[in-house]
Amino acid sequence: MTAKTVLVVEDDPDLQEVLRLTFEREGFRVVQAEGGARALEYARAAVPDVVVLDLMLPEMDGLEVCRRLRADPALRRIPVLMLTAKGEETDVVIGLGVGADDYLAKPARPRELVARIHALLRRARAERGAGDDAGGDAEAIRVGPLVVDPVRFEVRDDAGSVFRLTRTEFAVLHALARHPGRVYRRSELIDRAIGRDAVVTERTIDAHVKAVRRKLGAYGDLVETVRGVGYRLGDRTEGGSA
């Protein structure tokens, strides 16, 4: 089996070495970058399987690196885990809001970091398999004026506009779209959209839902909050195959 490539973006030399040894012991091929601009160069050249990204970087911070990864059609599906000393809840929400798939505060325990990376890779592999599946889960779903297409991993409207979501944001919307009107608890969305083996909190789902609403623009209010419970697609939408 070909070794998976992890791009580690970290400007602390000591931590770089720790991360390199940690991932190489797990059989990963490791590519390292100290700054944001160089990280983007390496990402375009190597197209890694996963990115571990610090926030506080020279030249270009991790948030901007993540934004640019998500804006690049060739790179936007790469899982990104932010690993940073900025671990306040607001920092987590901002990081997930720009497209990170997971967020871990320093100092991170090596076993937990590796477990999260493996979870992200399993999700990415499962989503690729779903895209190849000809079954019902691969059918595009119409939700009011929107079409949620799990084969192309995109959302579009009747006018042909395409709304680019991250892997996790799309998974959240797709889970809601399969049963419009049904209320999903946050814990259910974690299981359905992220996976039971993922190490996330309910606030993580809140951040992803907020990002989905923002990216859907005028259609964002289709995703409704049910206070004290969770989320749903409004009762006024109608599901079905497109």
Tell me the average pLDDT of the chain.
82
| Domain 135-233, architecture per CATH | Orthogonal Bundle (1.10)
> How far is it, in rounded angstroms, from Cα 191 to Cα 185?
10
Domain ranges in the chain are 5-131, 135-233
CATH of domain 5-131: 3.40.50.2300
Range of lowest pLDDT (12-21, 110-119, 139-148): 139-148
Cα–Cα distance measured from residue 174 to residue 16, given in angstroms and rounded to the nearest whole number: 37
27-45 pLDDT per residue, tens: 999 999 999 999 999 999 9
Tell whether pTM > 0.85: no
Confidence of residue 58 (pLDDT cuts 50, 70, 90): confident
What is residue 96's three-state secondary structure? helix
Please list, in sequence order, all residues whose beta carbon lies within 8 angstroms of the beta carbon of residue 69, skipping any fewer than 6 positions away: 40, 43, 51, 75, 76, 78, 80, 99
Return the pLDDT at 227. Answer: 87
User: What would you report as the CA-atom Rg of the chain, rounded to the nearest whole angstrom?
Assistant: 18
pLDDT digits (tens, 9 = 90+) for 70-119: 888 888 889 999 888 776 666 676 777 777 888 888 888 888 899 889 98
